[in-house]
Structure 1
């Protein structure tokens, strides 16, 4: 990659397999292709006004459809993008593909997301390993970033995780999810939107989901949407 600026951030995410039904549904619902950064025409979703759908998807569209494994971070001093990419390649070579239980559309802390329909120890382990293995590449969060996180009303345990790992929702606080909307404060609207999105995403909620790669997302600066810049396959054997 070209040299990155001081405001650039990377993230390590789960992204649906390229060309999969889930990838296509997500890019159309969010209205953006996370690889090309091009806008995509959104389908008409029964029960959701198109203008409201545009507003609801503003935040997840900016971050790109994903499940967080290691949250966005700036590179530590002395680290290069090439070093991170090489480490991702090496890490992926030690990971075996596995499958998740089918996804389901569900409310989550006022948002709506796709979440696994049952716990996955393999997924929890993968996320924990990503947090630990790549911590050396992470610059400490800024004072502003820390204050923003603390203002969200963290538990004592989450405060400790924020201090140690730069992000509060890791390890025992980790809950894998793929965000579909911004916050919906109205209970009625949230329930109606859940129902509509369950219909839209029905094709991907009836079968298990493969986890066979680690995706590197990149943000050039804080005003620029994240893009998927590399998808590195898992090549070890012995997954579940």
Structure 2
């Protein structure tokens, strides 16, 4: 399969109840590369609610999507991911909770996030030599959303505004919703997903992802954190 962009994600573990439910909720299984049926919930239009995040799959971004820099190869990126994962230890947090982030819903970690933030920063910095520079069109599009000076500096240096000190780990569950839909969706997720969420919550590997030509992200490889 040919990929147009790559990214480093936290990809939830396969074969556990919360991953299976949330994957079905989004409607895209990035490990299998297949669409999956949404759960049925009366009065909740899950397909519309999840349309924006669906193509990315169930994930938290650690290094945002990037095109491979000219002259560098996928094999070199793969070897760099192996080396990075070998220097980092698994991370344990208290758990996950459903959180409102502005107008969308996400799973956010409970507990001290210093080690998690350091892992994300390492992914951004250590693999940045593989990232092709952002185009002027990409920079203009990002800036149109309104950025702080810190975010704009991140965009210029790292190709994305929400990294390093501006980073917040989250697993996106919806697009932007109006207030009534946001409230109803949060209530439905609290009923069906919250009882399944892990306590504690562990991150034991990094996931290298690829964006296929059809626009959806696929799991390429997991790298165990073994430092």
Q: How would you bin the TM-score normalised by the shorter chain?
A: over 0.9
Q: Give the match for residue 209 of structure 1.
A: 201
Q: Does 1:229 align with 2:225?
A: no
Query: Is the CA contact (8 Å cut-off) linking 2:151 and 2:162 kept in structure 1?
Result: yes
Report the count of equivalent residues. 227
Match of 1:164 among 138, 154, 157: 157
The answer to whether the Cα contact below 8 Å between 1:46 and 1:196 also exists between their aligned partners in 2 is: no
Q: Which moved more, 1:33-42 or 1:152-161?
A: 33-42
TM-score, normalising length: structure 1: 0.90
5+ residue gaps, structure 2, are none
- Within 5 Å, give how 1:34-183 maps onto structure 2: 34-48=30-44, 52-183=45-176
- Deviation per CA, 1:132-169: give whole Å up to 9, x if none: 10010110011121111111111111001100111000
Q: 1:179, CA displacement in angstroms?
A: 0.3
Q: In 1, distance between residues paired with 2:198 and 2:165?
A: 28
Aligned-pair CA distance for 1:65: 0.9
Residue in structure 2 matched with residue 10 of structure 1 by the alignment: 6
Structure 1 portions without partners, runs of 5+: none
Runs of 4+ in structure 1 deviating by more than 2 angstroms, as ranges, are: 203-206
Q: Is the 8 A contact 2:18 2:197 kept in 1?
A: no
- 1:59-87: CA deviations, max 9, x gaps? 21111110010000001111100100011
Tell me how far apart the structure 2 counterparts of residues 163 and 56 of structure 1 sit (CA, whole Å).
32
Cα-Cα RMSD:
1.5
Contact conserved, 2:212 with 2:218, CA < 8 A, in 1? Answer: no
1:63 match: secondary structure: coil
Q: Which residue of 2 aligns with 1:196?
A: 188
Please give the alpha-carbon distance, in whole angstroms, between the structure 1 residues aligned to 2:42 and 2:97: 19
- State the shift of 1:173 in Å: 0.5
Q: Deviations over 1:161-191 (max 9, x none)?
A: 100111000111101100000000x212211
Determine the C-alpha separation between the residues in 2 that align with 1:160 and 1:117.
28
In structure 2, relative to structure 1, the CA distance for the partners of 1:11 and 1:190 (3 Å cut) is: same
TM normalised by structure 2 equals 0.95
Kindly provide the CA deviation profile for residues 93-126 of structure 1, in whole angstroms up to 9, marking residues without a partner as x.
1111121221111111211101112341110000
